[in-house]
Chain A
Amino acid sequence: MSPRANSKLEPSKTNPDFIRNFCIIAHIDHGKSTLADRMLQLTGVVDARSMRAQYLDRMDIERERGITIKSQAVRMPWEFENQVYALNMIDTPGHVDFTYEVSRSLAACEGAVLLVDAAQGIEAQTLANLYLAMENDLTIIPVLNKIDLPAAQPEKYAEELANLIGGNPEDCLRVSGKTGVGVDELLNKIIQTVPHPVGDPNAPARAMIFDSVYDSYRGVVTYVRMVDGSLSNREKITMMSTKAVHDLLEIGVSSPEPEQTKGLGVGEVGYLITGVKDVRQSKVGDTVTTALKSATQALKGYSEPKPMVYSGVYPIDGSDYPILREALDKLKLSDASLVYEPETSVALGFGFRCGFLGLLHLEIITERLEREFNLDLIATAPSVIYEVTLDDKKEVTVTNPSEYPTGKISKVLEPMVRATILSPKDYVGAIMELCQGRRGVMVDMQYFGTDRVQLRYDMPLAEIVFDFFDHLKSKTQGYASLDYEENGLAEGDLVKVDILLQGEQVDAFSAIVHKDKAYAYGVMMTTKLRELIPRQQFEVPIQAAIGARIIARESIRAMRKDVLAKCYGGDISRKRKLLEKQKEGKKRMKMVGRVEVPQEAFIAALTSDSEKKGKKKGD
């Protein structure tokens, strides 16, 4: 008999005993989306014809990068031992920047499929999410994927997983999302081992928001997991954090296309549409209740999104500023964690200081701005948040190095992280050297199996945000993986290094760095700028300074020749055209005092070396 269910359980009337809510925890390229696609096909909710690869990842960027940014939930019917079940697969973001979103997705589940590439083994980010799943008391189903690959080593990694989460290596399922092998067994196993949801059907309604997506046609689509009670169509609902009341215009489940239902009952997962246009009105982690018979106690675990990394984002063409503002306003509708405010820079003109959850978030947002709104942008080096206390006890929060206070400073606190690095053991030396160079303090080191090592370091977030991951990858030939979690604040011996061109400070290049690294930063920037800024008709000193103290200097020698030797008949038109072009080019020049700096020089100076290398390869 085919396990594919011939009937479905009706949403809003489903007995929680026959509901299973689960998610899949996996590293970026370990095949989560392919496995999810296979499940959609196998359970019959998507037919082979309308199947497109990685069905659940809607955004282009997601599909290209093979990562999931926004989670969604899919309800799938599945029959096991003559009983039809409703399986809710809740897709989770896979990246450390989205830890909070991950934690809310996990809170909507009773079980998690721990999916690991059978050729690569577990990675640090997976460990981080696994940890969150275990903290949420989820039942873990270990699964090795891609067993069809010739390089697969299922025995080795089954052993590793067993070491990690307990149990026997034999309990580890082996599947191939690509060929479909083992996927039906996995669905059966989910029904067998994941506990059914438990809730009070008669209590006031409480539903937890685990995702909130902006759709340009329908407004905000809110994904919820019903905990207690029920919600039904056309009811008035209340968001418990803001007490805002909305009309429930539509309620339903995704399967995976939206299907309107009469309502949602205990343990069910579905979506709500209220007509609001801004995801900030429907916050991840918030509790939804009915306006008429409100719950008194919100569900636990809600917190406001908190930016970790700031960067100035500027349009390369200053006249694009209004478009950038509009674009940010639009993106904000679908991304509650994006914060920004207007900022001006001497070097870069008008832009916005934006706060991001982390580096990937920064990259995704700038890429979406460029792609979806056709903007050319430049982002300043990412900065963390510093809590500065002055001698007069005044406290200042600094998100932009150029705003670092100039007065006497008694104390600077900087955000710390606990970084987890997983790597083959051959690279331990290189990793330790890198982490120590970044002010890391080792917490512990642990072997997984025979050749893989987990290193944990406490280090300042600022040391990670710039190019740490690039260096880690290059020192380990791409084998190491990195995860980090916030770990409070710590006092740091920090200084602000300014870069001056002909005595004029260039705000975009100011950086807050550890005292021991100030010199290196100064030398790096002054050298870089010497190469990037074209010679002017006068000598241009480039200095790095801490306050009034110069710590590094370079100079651009004066240009001595700028003349076309021959200027006869045919040269005249050519030369005039050249003049016109130079005039055009001047519009892209920024003046720092008397020094003309091409926009490209700013961009190049703000781009890390490893990025440049990558770009060259692509040329």
Chain B
Amino acid sequence: MPQFPKGELAPADGLIPLRAAVSSIDKTFHAYVHVPYCKARCGYCDFNTYTSEEIGSSSQGTFAQTLLKEIEFSAGVLENSRIPSRKLSTVFFGGGTPTLLPAADLIAILDKLKATFGFEPELDITTEANPDSVDEEYLEQLKQAGFTRVSIGMQSAVPKVLAVLERTHNPENVSKAVSAARSVGLATSVDLIYGSPTETLDDWRQSLQAAIDLATDHISAYSLIVEEGTKLARQIKSGQLTEPDEDMHADMYELAEQMLSAAGFTNYEVSNWSKSVETRSAHNMAYWKSMDWWGYGPGAHSHVGGVRWWNVKNPAAYQDRINAAVSPALERELIDEENRNIERVMLETRIAEGIDLTWLKEKGFASNQAVSELIAEELVDAKEVFRGFITLTLKGRLLADLVVRKLIN
């Protein structure tokens, strides 16, 4: 499981200090719903997920009920913290596998969000889906309830790679799921993972081609991160599997850029490509623009008014807290201005529009020497710099963290 960052203990009432709340004024508001269940745990996964074997199936049945209570609780917190009331701009169901829940559960949660906060027009409502767990009927229900988009965990088209990742889904179901989603009128996206042990550049080419052939609106491609504590990490440590080196990762990323752009996709964030500006993930853009969001469910992270907090991970502990009307937040961080600025550099550098150079300078970042080095090393686009923006080149995207370090140091 991912290590939570170290924060201070979150208060039982969940209230957000006023001095932090002020920073919500010009931000849009978003909801993330974490559904912590999976049929089986994948070898690489370190997300906060539980299989029914691990916790029994009972909590899955009451999950939606508990979540509705957190929505009520959140409305109280926001009001009592005097944060201006805002309608939701996006909703995202992630996991785990949200689609393991009956469609009615997801819809009940969505309805509750709408009843509590109201929805902005043109709202983007996405759910992640396992290709094995959705069919046209299920997706049709979601569409009817207002969902606009489905993001399918494809990961790879190569059985050998799926086996290494311990993905259990049937690769053929991916195209069925995408077709079903399209036929009911949902926008589609697929997630891919590259750089798995044993995966070759040709394997990756095959997966990219398969994803392109699905004719989705959006593709995310993530290099595999071997997280501590996962089965995959143990297999690598024991020598059963070999981790591909960073040069291979770089080759794979460049191949993705080449094939996806040839197929009409545009990269708009380090790991994300879309067919148009409209088909970007509006919810993820909110993260990168440091907007406000409430993360519902066990282990979910929230960011409202300059405060980040994270809920207890264990679904039973989560449920206990909610039922006792105690904030499910375990710990929190109050982000001071300097760190807020650093986060902004860290996040906005990753998106295609880049980050405003004037703002960077105002905040004491982006020394002339650093910018000139970044241009010399072809990590940022020189023409954009002259227009007043730091935007990454392809080479710079692969070295984005280094660019951020140079900008802030």
Are A566 and B3 in contact, with the CB atoms below 8 A?
Answer: no
CB within 8 Å of B: which A549-588 residues: 559-570, 572-577, 579, 582-583, 586
Q: Hey, what's the 0/1 contact readout for A66-110 against B, CB within 8 Å counting as 1?
A: 000000000000000000000000000000000000000000000
Task: Report the Cα distance A537→B403, complex, angstroms.
Answer: 10
Which stretch of B59-67, B181-189, B243-251 is in the interface?
A: B243-251
Residues of A within 8 A of B346 (CB): 567, 572, 575-576, 579
Q: Which of B222, B253, B288, B310 contacts A570 (CB 8 A)?
A: B310
Min CB distance, A495 to chain B, in Å?
36
Residues of A within 8 A of B225 (CB): 564-566
Residues of B within 8 A of A573 (CB): 5, 7, 301, 308, 310, 333
Are B401 and A563 in contact, with the CB atoms below 8 A?
Answer: yes
Task: Report the Cα distance A470→B248, complex, angstroms.
Answer: 41
Task: Report the Cα distance A582→B402, complex, angstroms.
Answer: 10
Least CB separation from B269: chain A residue: A567
Residues of A within 8 A of B308 (CB): 572-573
Residues of B within 8 A of A561 (CB): 223, 246-247, 249-250, 253, 398-399
Residues of A within 8 A of B280 (CB): none
Least CB separation from B400: chain A residue: A563
Q: Hey, what's the 0/1 contact readout for B1-36 against A, CB within 8 Å counting as 1?
A: 011111100000000000000000000000010000
Are A537 and B402 in contact, with the CB atoms below 8 A?
Answer: yes
Q: Which of B246, B287, B398 contacts A572 (CB 8 A)?
A: B287
CB within 8 Å of B: which A518-573 residues: 537-538, 559-570, 572-573
Q: Hey, what's the 0/1 contact readout for B162-182 against A, CB within 8 Å counting as 1?
A: 000000000000000000000
Are B32 and A565 in contact, with the CB atoms below 8 A?
Answer: no
Task: Report the Cα distance A295→B272, complex, angstroms.
Answer: 93
Residues of B within 8 A of A566 (CB): 222, 225, 271
Are A586 and B293 in contact, with the CB atoms below 8 A?
Answer: no
Q: Which of B3, B333, B350, B397 contacts A567 (CB 8 A)?
A: B350
Residue B101 CB within 8 A of the other chain: no
Task: Report the Cα distance A582→B401, complex, angstroms.
Answer: 10
CB within 8 Å of A: which B328-367 residues: 333, 339, 342-343, 346-347, 350
Q: Which of B7, B270, B293, B303 contacts A563 (CB 8 A)?
A: B270
Interface of B is mostly: mixed
Are A560 and B300 in contact, with the CB atoms below 8 A?
Answer: no
Task: Report the Cα distance A579→B406, complex, angstroms.
Answer: 11
Are A567 and B343 in contact, with the CB atoms below 8 A?
Answer: no
Task: Report the Cα distance A594→B402, complex, angstroms.
Answer: 14
Residues of B within 8 A of A577 (CB): 5-6
Q: Which of A559, A563, A574 contacts B5 (CB 8 A)?
A: A574
Min CB distance, A427 to chain B, in Å?
37
Task: Report the Cα distance A566→B270, complex, angstroms.
Answer: 9
Are B270 and A567 in contact, with the CB atoms below 8 A?
Answer: yes
Q: What interface size band does chain A fall in?
A: 20 to 34
Residues of A within 8 A of B350 (CB): 567
Min CB distance, A416 to chain B, in Å?
49
Least CB separation from A564: chain B residue: B401
Task: Report the Cα distance A568→B287, complex, angstroms.
Answer: 6
Are A560 and B270 in contact, with the CB atoms below 8 A?
Answer: no
Interface centre among A570, A577, A583, A586 (most CB of B within 10 A): A570
Task: Report the Cα distance A568→B289, complex, angstroms.
Answer: 11
CB within 8 Å of B: which A574-608 residues: 574-577, 579, 582-583, 586, 594
Residues of A within 8 A of B32 (CB): 569
Residues of A within 8 A of B206 (CB): none
Are B246 and A538 in contact, with the CB atoms below 8 A?
Answer: no
- Knowing A537-B399, A560-B247, A567-B287, the reply to whether A579 touches B5 (Cβ < 8 A) is no
Least CB separation from A566: chain B residue: B222
Task: Report the Cα distance A568→B126, complex, angstroms.
Answer: 15
Least CB separation from A594: chain B residue: B373
Are B400 and A562 in contact, with the CB atoms below 8 A?
Answer: yes
Are A569 and B293 in contact, with the CB atoms below 8 A?
Answer: yes
Residues of A within 8 A of B377 (CB): 537-538
Residues of A within 8 A of B2 (CB): 570, 574
Residues of B within 8 A of A559 (CB): 246, 399, 402
Min CB distance, B308 to chain A, in Å?
6
Are B401 and A562 in contact, with the CB atoms below 8 A?
Answer: yes
Residues of A within 8 A of B288 (CB): 567
Min CB distance, B381 to chain A, in Å?
16
Min CB distance, B34 to chain A, in Å?
9
Are A576 and B339 in contact, with the CB atoms below 8 A?
Answer: yes
Residues of B within 8 A of A565 (CB): 222-223, 225, 270-271
Q: Which of B4, B284, B310, B408 contacts A568 (CB 8 A)?
A: B284
Task: Report the Cα distance A486→B350, complex, angstroms.
Answer: 65
Residues of A within 8 A of B347 (CB): 567, 572
Residue B68 CB within 8 A of the other chain: no
Q: Hey, what's the 0/1 contact readout for B222-236 against A, CB within 8 Å counting as 1?
A: 110100000000000
Are B401 and A569 in contact, with the CB atoms below 8 A?
Answer: no
Residues of A within 8 A of B249 (CB): 560-561
Task: Report the Cα distance A364→B350, complex, angstroms.
Answer: 53
Least CB separation from A578: chain B residue: B401
Task: Report the Cα distance A583→B409, complex, angstroms.
Answer: 7
Residues of A within 8 A of B237 (CB): none
Least CB separation from B374: chain A residue: A537
Residues of A within 8 A of B405 (CB): 579, 582-583, 586
Task: Report the Cα distance A406→B295, complex, angstroms.
Answer: 67
Task: Report the Cα distance A568→B291, complex, angstroms.
Answer: 12
Name 17 A/B residue pairs within 8 A (Cβ), A-sorted: A537-B377, A537-B399, A559-B402, A560-B398, A560-B399, A561-B249, A562-B400, A563-B400, A565-B270, A567-B347, A568-B284, A569-B32, A573-B7, A576-B343, A583-B405, A583-B409, A594-B373
- Sample of 6 more A-B contacts, CB < 8 Å, known A573-B5, A576-B343, A579-B408: A538-B377, A559-B402, A561-B223, A563-B397, A570-B301, A583-B405
**8 closest Cβ pairs, A-B complex:** A560-B250, A573-B5, A569-B301, A563-B400, A565-B222, A570-B301, A561-B246, A561-B250
